[in-house]
Structure 1
Amino acid sequence: MTGFDRLTPALQYQIVNTLGYARLRPVQELTIGPVLDGKNCVVLAPTAGGKTEAAFFPLLSAMDAADWRPTSVIYLSPIRALLNNQEERVTRFATTLGRRVAKWHGDTGQGARKAFLSDSTDILLTTPESLEAMMMSPRVPAKRVFAGLRAVIIDEVHAFAGDDRGAHLAALLERLSRFCGNDVQRIGLSATVGNPEQILAWLQGRSRRPGTVISPPREASAPRLELDSVETMENAASIVRRFHAGSKRLVFVDSRRGVEEIGTRLRRDGVDVYMVHGSLSAPERRDAERAFAERTDCVIVSTSALELGIDIGDLDHVIQIDSPSTVASFLQRLGRTGRRAGAQANCTFLAVKPAAALQAAALMRLHRQGYVEDVRAERRAAHILAHQLLALCIEHGGIGRGDWFAWLDGATSFADIGPEERSALVDHMLEEGILSDQEGRLWLGPEGEKLYGRRNFAELYAVFSTPRLIRVQHDTHDVGTVDASFLEALDSDARRAAFSLGGRAWQVVHIAWGRGLCHVKPADAAPSARWSGSPTFLGYRLCQAMREVLVQEGYDPGWSARARLLIDSLRVEHAFLREADECNGPSPMVDDGGDTVVWWTFAGGRANLLLARMIEAELGGKCVSRNTSITCKEEAGKSQAALRQVVRQLAAEGRPNDADARRWADAAAGRGRVSKFAPCLTEEALTAYLVERMMDVEGAREAVKGGAGSREM
């Protein structure tokens, strides 16, 4: 019996006659049985490989056979654009069996929300943040709405599992199971993940259902990869304009400002261009989404938002300005192309900065070696546990100290947090006034109200921190949002200030700070708006691949003549790396003049951050950590011999170790963004959080071995 044979006759008929399928794809055939058997699943298939149907067809069949009542299936996506993109598709599947679909996210109007609450649909498309808001809101009868829940589909599961949003999602899954009293089935979908078994274990939580990874064989077709050095953003825009003119091109830029700069230049040159990033208004984003399906000769410029599974039709080419920071991200972007029969997946890197060219070359190298990063799911996310405690207080109108954790018990994100640590967390939050104890029930205290109570507890809907945003409006049309700090830094005469947003220049007319509104009018020209962000830490393996590109001879076949010249110049500039390897010596330390020594570790940002603090403690002075090196200044840079001796001593002692990381965690906190729930944490829990986020102990230890001359060559 095939998977298709196990579907209900009604659905079989609709798949063939209404949806027009001649046959199911391998991943769909393989998924039907495990889903109908009630297993939790991680389903792996390339972008546009049919994962959505693989999850929904068997669930619709079960819904039809057992007459599941609304709302029985939740589909979760990391971004709104993917929900918008999937709504029509999922609705088409569902309506063949007379089932209904609704969407709920930040752009969903009040009318649509009220309609759903009064008459819930069979399937709900939403984000974890919107789901949290529904569960906390007194206007949403969440227990009634989710009483019939049977299954949750998590699309792009890899985008969740390794960060705070994944820890939050794991907690939400357990709370949903408590709401409905069912062991809710969990189905994760992904195109790229290096450790699917670990992702499955994270997804399982306290579910007692058996679990399985579904990974059909993939066709071995090599993509076309190209790397070119273009030196300036103006040159990059010019190449994009001329590159395969007449086709649909998707350009990735890893910053909102970069998207605005490239998009504005292309629009100025008469290109049909659309932009996508998180600070554009909903209408602007919808225009871009329509272009995906309707246009053929256009350019879409986007941040990482479009690397996820949005269906953008028959895309011809992917262009990457500079380089993403992981192989997994690169693979997601590469997977946007090559979907038509006979088409070849392709990606062209246009490197503006020399360092980005080296990084792109390293990514190409790792990809050709078949490497993909593992996703590391959190197991002691105390800051998210604090967030969930606060959310439960709001949801239940106060909750008993002995009752709250039962709602979260089993979530993988909290698996390594024991009862004593949980009790210490509550005690600390009470002592700090974040919580109050009102006759045995926990509720927000005065400090908790101050930190998280504004705008009806909106700070508790999302676990990630965001700067204060100001809405930009022309007449009654929303353009997007900008950081308040950016507007504050503009010309002191706000009427003369101008910036570019959505590819258009705007002059500030008036800023209503109290309402969070900036009124603008069109301007002739203006620089791009700026948004705040955190530094990008590259991983140990990617940095090592960058080193390999520098020390080894030869060229990747995808490098252009200009890229080869640039890599050659970088190899000459870093010739000391090859010299060290040829004599089997330690990783180089280079005198840079004026009491400055640069230690070239190629260990990654988190590893180097820890080592920099340790060197400062031993030698004094100041150490500046980067992804590939540590620059030791003043006392720390006076003697290369003294620096080498410190490194050798650390290697002899098997350090750095976890104790070192804990010792220097506070010193690292100023170098990166700390969770908005940090005030909820005990000193010990905060230290553990900082170590996890800011430091790579294993990578630092490998760097020390290399600096002492004891690494394996």
Structure 2
Amino acid sequence: MGVFSLLNPGLQGALVKQGFIAPTQPQVETIPAVLSKEHVLLIAPTGSGKTESAVLPVFDSIMQKKEEERRGISVLYITPLRALNRDMLSRLEWWENELDIRVAVRHGDTTAYERQKQSLKPPDFLVTTPETLQVMLTGKRLRENLRTVSHVIIDEVHELASSKRGAQLSIALERLVEVCGEFQRIGLSATVGRPQEIARFLAGTNRIARVIEVSLIKQLDFNVVCPGPTPEDMQSSKKLMCTPDVASHIRVIADIAGKHKSTLIFVNTREAAEMLGSRFRMLNIPIGVHHGSLSREARIEAESNFKRGILSGLICTSSMELGIDIGDVDHVIQYMSPREVTRLIQRVGRAGHWVGEISSGTIITTSADDAAESSAITRRAKAGEIETVDIHENSTDTLANQICGLALDLSEIQLKRAYSIVKRAYPYRNLKIELLSGVIKQLNDNRLIRFENDTISRKKKTWQYFYENLSMIPDEKRFEIFDIVSGRTIGALDEAFVVNFAKAGAVFIAKGEMWRVIEMIGEKSRIKVEPISDPQGEIPNWVGEEIPVPYEVAQEVGVIRKRILEKIISGNSTEKIIEDYRENYPADSEAATGILELIRNQVKANRTVPTDDIVVIEQDEKTIVINICGGHKVNETLGRVVTSLLAARFGASVAMEIDPYRIKLELPKMFGAYRVKELLLETSPDYIEPIIEMMLKNTILLKWKMVHVARKFGALSRDIDYDRISMRKLLDVFEHTPMYDEAVREIFHNKLDIEGAKTVLGKIHSGSIKLVIQPPSPIGEAGFLGGRELMAPERADSSIIMALKNRIMEDRVILFCVNCKKWKSSKMVKSVPETPECPLCSSRLIAALKPWEEEEIKIVKKPEKEKTEEEKKRTMRVYRNANLVLSQGKTAAIALASRGIGPETASRVIRKMREDEEEFYRDILIAERNYAKTKRFWDG
């Protein structure tokens, strides 16, 4: 039995009954280390016996104890998902009965009866979440039950380490040490870069965890494909209301799923999951949808139907990367580039879910960039070049939360003791006492704690605050979707989608099905819906999901371009270039050909190819594209620096869009590309951080973050109306506080790469990255199309255009006379006169406002001297609106009634109405979709 012989005889007998003949490699290496009381981080693939590697020696420890020693909890098994808790309980129940070990699960859904039972007679082995541990540490009886903890196992520790939940857990573990003394720490992780960093996170500042890393025994088998549309796809695209390209992707997914028993189809966003799911439903193909915004019941049903074979495929997002038990998976499809090496390994690793089995995966790509990016990621996966986990260092809202936790744990605590406890947590190892004091002062000012004579003590309000903020996941208002036909909750919608889109009669997609809004109940945050059949449903825009492409991956795409260019210049044949490419990358001929053709078109156009060491700036009138292989975060950072500097020069905002290979700028007036080049050469890398911080002060992103952080600090109530808070007030109240600093720190951590941008700018200055200026090129124009908008065809079908027109005509606008300021009238767009006129003063200076813009009328009516600067700007916007209606009549009202379209965008699309009505509505469609994707963050 090998290492199994080290275990308790009763446990060995149970192993034989369960069919454990020989230990797996992770078990061989881990069981002796755990038995010898070492802190251990085990990194091993899914399906390699990883869980048993930790659980078996811990069971052994419990069985060694006498019954009177088992009065409290011995083992905490912490997982990041409740779904994993369900899985663990079902896996442990057999062992519980066989070994007479008490096992239980405790999380937010645990019944009051079950909780009371656990409190009175605690289990030996408790499966729980980081948030529930917070509750247990502060509860009198539960805290007593924790005094006997000897082992803590953290599952999917890499997932927690990269988030604020992990920072919170790291301090909670040190609070647990204060209760039960030192305990053994065991972490289970997927493959990560720099595993020693995760081991330090697990162990804490002054402890050492041994890293046991078992290489992928299972061979990973990847294939990158780029399907093109067939004549049949052209036909089916009309039925499916999508592009022919997307129709070809749906066909290929269906073909692959049809050849396998069970296929997981990973997508990068919930929107993509809903888009694909709705199309398979239209085709009556048994492929389900699973993501975090569906109800718990809907997710469990999808998992169960997949496990039982009722569904042959399951479209899912990142939550399914974790070890949720859904039975055997024999193939994984990744729809579009997985963006990161770690994601590809975890996702494809779900296939061949047993020891020694090959894990096979197909990446379906949608463009040349997508294919090159996927190729780079597959090569890096094979070579073990994996991204590192980026830990949140000194997160102050997390710290505020845990200071209140310590106050509740101990009633009162000296500042120095609190400091020493927090510094034992690895993310806070470099914490300065001044920062801790600043956070405590803020909590004292917010009346959440009392701080006198260097002593922190709890108040009545501490309890309420702490229990409202058990989770470090941002508080976002969620609207429950309730199906009136089945009487079931089917999921939830984000506040941003509801505010911008959902109203009675609106149609949207969730769970791959079409729903019509019947009624919205604001006070209950519930939306009543009915199922319908309508392929033109809107897909909810779940925010903050986009996985950023790392700098290193984007750079390799630049290297791929450079190598293919060299072969073209050397006169290699197409066949030879594709053959060479496929020797280095697991891509099919179509994928390789797509990349080659894009570069060949660039050469034919006599344009420079942007690579890892060449940045190309292109100009087309007021549009400038900076082609730079920098990845999302570096490009976002450099783009923000450039737009800030340009906006300062123009005195007007500059629109920006980025992808991993381009920064696209829309300028308010002509500005030579050579001047953008000069800007890059003149700007010192040291200026990047201060420029970004100044720029952030005018963004909705900082406002959004500051509201979330202030809620976590208890400075704002959880249910405060976000839209009613002005940015100026937030800055006045919070600037120069730990809350403001935390909001900026988190944006820098999550969305930007200051150090990476400094490095790139430094290379530009030194000449190791060359800057080239040229006219528009095929590569420059290829960006921003690679699957960003999956629903609407690039050239929308006439039926979609007609549906859009009908919807706008049924919408309402408020006509308001800005001349006399006395007349207003609400009308359906179809009823607006060709030339609107005020019946009171006969003026034609009439603004066409959206129904929710009533506030603008009040602002316009205010005396000029009483208006703030912001209100003056809003007044000017209403006058621009009215001038557009004065010159263009009803056409302007149609454009202005569209979602997210203001006077500036409306004036751009309006001239097409007289040239081609269909083109006019096509432009509105594009503008609406762009608005839906970008509204929430970077608008000023």
Fold in common (TM above 0.5):
yes
Task: Give CA-to-partner distance per residue, 1:447-486, whole Å, 9 cap, x none.
Answer: x99xx85xxx554121121421122223542222222443
For the pair 1:571 / 2:593, whether they are aligned, the reply is no
Q: Which residue of 1 aligns with 2:219?
A: 221
Report the alpha carbon displacement of residue 161 of structure 1 after superposing the two structures with TM: 1.1
Of 556, 563, 566, the residue aligned with 1:545 is 556
Q: Summarize the alignment of residues 188-203 of structure 1 with structure 2, pairs less than 5 Å apart.
A: 188-203=187-202
Q: Which moved more, 1:674-683 or 1:115-124?
A: 674-683
Q: 1:612-637: CA deviations, max 9, x gaps? A: 34334555353736232333554897
Counterpart of 1:647 in structure 2 is 680
Residue matched to 2:924: none
Runs of at least 5 residues in structure 2 that lack an aligned partner in the other structure:
229-243, 565-576, 714-736, 771-940
Which of residues 310, 315, 331 in structure 1 aligns to 2:329?
315
Shift, 1:266, TM fit? 1.8
Alignment of 1:614-653 (within 5 A): 614-616=641-643, 618-619=645-646, 620-621=649-650, 622=654, 624=656, 626=658, 627-634=660-667, 638-650=671-683
User: Are residues 637 and 403 of structure 1, via their aligned partners in 2, closer, same or farther at CA, if it must alter by over 3 Å?
Assistant: farther
User: Between Structure 1 and Structure 2, how many residues are aligned?
Assistant: 697
Q: Which amino acid aligns with 1:95?
A: N
Whether the 8 Å contact between 1:351 and 1:357 is mirrored in structure 2 is: yes
Q: Distance in 1 between matches of 2:197 and 2:152?
A: 19
Letter in 2 for 1:356: D
Once the two structures are TM-superposed, the CA of residue 384 in structure 1 deviates from its matched residue by: 1.4
Deviations 1:81-116 (A, max 9, x none): 222222211232343311121122333333433332
Matched, 1:467 2:467: no
Listed as ranges, the gaps of 5+ residues in structure 1 are none
Query: Structure 1's 32 and 356: CA in aligned 2 closer, same or farther, altered over 3 A?
Result: same
Distance 1:133 1:147 in 2: 15
The answer on 1:530 being equivalent to 2:521 is no
Q: Is the 8 A contact 1:543 1:604 kept in 2?
A: yes
Alpha-carbon separation, structure 1, partners of 2:330 and 2:151: 36
In structure 1, how many angstroms separate the alpha carbons of the residues matched to 2:633 and 2:45? 31
CA gap of 1:383–1:669, structure 2 versus 1, over 3 A, is farther
Paired position in structure 2 for 1:376:
390
Q: Percent identity?
A: 24
Matches of 2:412 and 2:225 in 1, distance apart?
57
**1:648 maps to amino acid:** L
Q: Does 1:153 align with 2:166?
A: no
Matched residue SS, 2:431: coil
Distance (Å, rounded) in 2 between the aligned partners of 1:159 and 1:80: 14
**CA–CA separation in structure 2 for the residues paired with 1:15 and 1:488:** 56
Deviation track 1:232-273 (CA, whole Å, cap 9, x = no partner) reads 444333322222415111111122222222222223322223
Give, as a single letter, the amino acid of the residue that structure 1 aligns with 2:6.
Answer: R
Q: Which amino acid aligns with 1:468?
A: K
SS at match of 2:147: coil
Larger radius of gyration: 2
State the partner residue of 1:608.
635
Q: 1:481 aligns with which of 489, 492, 497?
A: 492
User: 1:139-218 to 2 correspondence within 5 Å?
Assistant: 141-180=141-180, 182-206=181-205, 208=207, 210-218=208-216
Distance in 1, Cα, partners of 2:206 & 2:531: 55
Stretch moving more, 427-436 or 63-72:
427-436
Which residue of structure 1 lines up, in the alignment, with residue 371 of structure 2?
A: 357
Shift of 1:150: 1.2
Higher relative contact order (CA 8 A, sep 6+): 1
> Once the 2 structures are TM-superposed, how far is the Cα of residue 206 of structure 1 from its aligned partner?
4.7
Match of 1:29 in 2: 28
Give the distance between the partners of 2:246 and 2:38, measured in 1 at CA: 49
Q: Which residue of 2 aligns with 1:589?
A: 616
Q: 1:25-49: CA deviations, max 9, x gaps?
A: 1110111111111111110111111
Structure 1 position 656, deviation (Å) = 5.7
CA change 1:502–1:217 in 2 (3 A) is closer
| Conservation of the 8 A alpha-carbon contact between 1:587 and 1:599 | no
Asked if residue 417 in structure 1 is aligned to residue 474 in structure 2, the reply is no
RMSD: 3.4
How far 1:278 moved relative to its partner? 1.0
Change (3 A) 1:482 1:60: same
- Structure 1 Cα separation of the partners of residues 480 and 215 of structure 2: 47
Aligned to 1:691: 748
2:705 is the alignment partner of 1:674: yes
Partner-residue secondary structure (3-state), 1:588:
strand
Aligned to 1:241: 254
CA distance in 1, matches of 2:299, 2:458: 39
Matching residue's letter, 2:750: R
Measured at CA, do residues 673 and 92 of structure 1 come closer, stay the same or move farther in structure 2, by a change above 3 Å?
Answer: farther
Structure 2 partner of 1:510? 519
CA contact (8 A) 2:157 2:189 kept: yes
Structure 2 vs 1, CA of residues 54 and 611 (structure 1 numbering), >3 Å: closer, same or farther?
same
Match of 1:82 among 70, 81, 84: 84
SS in 2 for 1:500: strand
* TM-score, normalised via structure 2 length: 0.68
8 Å Cα contact 2:549/2:631 also seen in 1: yes
Query: 2-side partners of 1:218 and 1:127: how far apart?
Result: 28
C-alpha distance in 2, partners of 1:416/1:368? 36
Instruction: Tell me the distance in 1 between the aligned counterparts of 2:605 and 2:188.
Output: 42
Contact persistence 2:705–2:743 (CA under 8 A): no
Q: How does 1:403-442 map to 2 (within 5 A)?
A: 404-405=418-419, 407-431=421-445, 442=457
Residues 1:329 and 2:362 aligned together:
no
Measured in 1, the distance between the counterparts of 2:591 and 2:356 equals 29
Look up the equivalent residue of 1:472 and give its one-letter code: I
More helix by proportion, 1 or 2?
2
